[in-house]
Amino acid sequence: MGKKTQRSLLLLLFLSGLVHCSAALVFWTAVVEINYFISPNKTVDKDCECGIFGRNSPLAQAAGFVVIPRGDPKGCGPDPVYNVSGLPWIALVKRGNCTFSQKINAAKRQGASAVVVYNVDGSGNGTAHMAHSDALEIVSIMIGNIQGMEIASLVRNGTEVRMIIDAGSPHGPWMDTYWLYFMSIAFFIVTAASVAYFLFISANRLYNMRMHRRAERRLKSEAKKAIGRLRVRTLKRDDEETASESHMCAVCIESYKAGEVVTVLTCDHIFHKACIEPWLLEKRTCPMCKCDILKALGVEVDEKDSMSQAAPQEVTVITVAGGEAMYEVPLTDPLNFDPERQEHHYDNGAFEGEAARGQ
């Protein structure tokens, strides 16, 4: 598995975990509407987006008359807890003494269409995001203590209070306005930084490529001028190079023939003109002795250019008058040349022995 694939998987896992955590932090408000009669001809209607749906509550509408528990307002006693009629009703119960699930299930068993839990004393109209994993499939919300005490007081006094619960709006880190502003700005900054970095890398790469091509063009231009100064001659029948097939061009490995045009390098080695000129444009050195022809002709080359144009080590051809062509393979680093340590091996063992006796 490549590094890019691993990074993509890690990013996917991170984002999925982030979405999961964010979903757990999101909560929905509840719109609570109540109405009741204070006289035969006067009705009071109140509504506010002041409730919060429980984490395990369905986001649905519920309606009915408000009913409070008998005796203990916290609704934690044994069944039956509520005095109910056949009409749809909503349980209003105070927070405390038992779990939210126990309160909700007690009302659910007696047929409540919804459960409203109001907060503890001293909490004002503050609410909490209650969890009730053991009480499902019934609308359950929490409202503030002040509002809950007011409704409970009306019910105790015999007032019939009708309540309608409806879904409000989502809230949380992904829905909060300031958080969205922050995420938008952060996304813009990260995107801008990524684009700027990409443009910088691309511009730098294009600049380096342009400079490299410019250096190559300059070097080839200088090389062409220098190559034009090399001595050129046309071989004749009585020339030494055409008299024996042992003399051959080290570039194309072909023997010289009368009438062919050859170029004489500064090191006095000769090659076919058509062979050596493209070679020198690319390699700059003599194929036989590795002499830097351009430097010998006074063409200065920058170190960077020389590294990009440096030729790999080539096989050196040695010709012996009256014999066959033999090949010399340098075994030491040509950039760290030491004449005393340079060793040569020849294909012809007899010649190697002769060379050793000659030394």
Domain boundaries, the chain: 23-171, 207-351
Q: Are 257 and 264 in contact (CB under 8 A)?
A: no
What residue ranges of the chain have pLDDT lower than 70?
1-25, 172-180, 300-359
Is the C-alpha dihedral spanning 325, 331, 335, 336 positive or negative?
Answer: negative
Give pLDDT, residue 65.
94
Alpha-carbon gap, residue 160 to 68, rounded angstroms: 11
Give pLDDT, residue 315.
45
Question: What tens digit of pLDDT does each residue of 164-213 get?
Answer: 999 988 876 555 556 667 778 889 999 999 999 999 999 999 999 999 88
Question: What tens digit of pLDDT does each residue of 111-159 get?
Answer: 999 999 999 999 998 888 899 999 999 999 999 999 999 999 999 999 9
| C-alpha closest to that of 282 among 243, 311, 320 | 311
Give pLDDT, residue 94.
94
Q: What angle do CA 192, 198, 199 make, to 5 degrees?
A: 90
Classified by CATH at the fold level, domain 207-351 comes out as Herpes Virus-1 (3.30.40)
Give pLDDT, residue 49.
92
Give pLDDT, residue 197.
93
What is the separation, in whole angstroms, between the first and last Cα of the chain?
60
Give pLDDT, residue 268.
87
Give pLDDT, residue 220.
80
Q: Tell me the pTM.
A: 0.47
Alpha-carbon gap, residue 271 to 184, rounded angstroms: 70
Q: Are 127 and 103 in contact (CB under 8 A)?
A: no
Give pLDDT, residue 85.
75
Domain 23-171 coded CATH 3.40.50.300: no
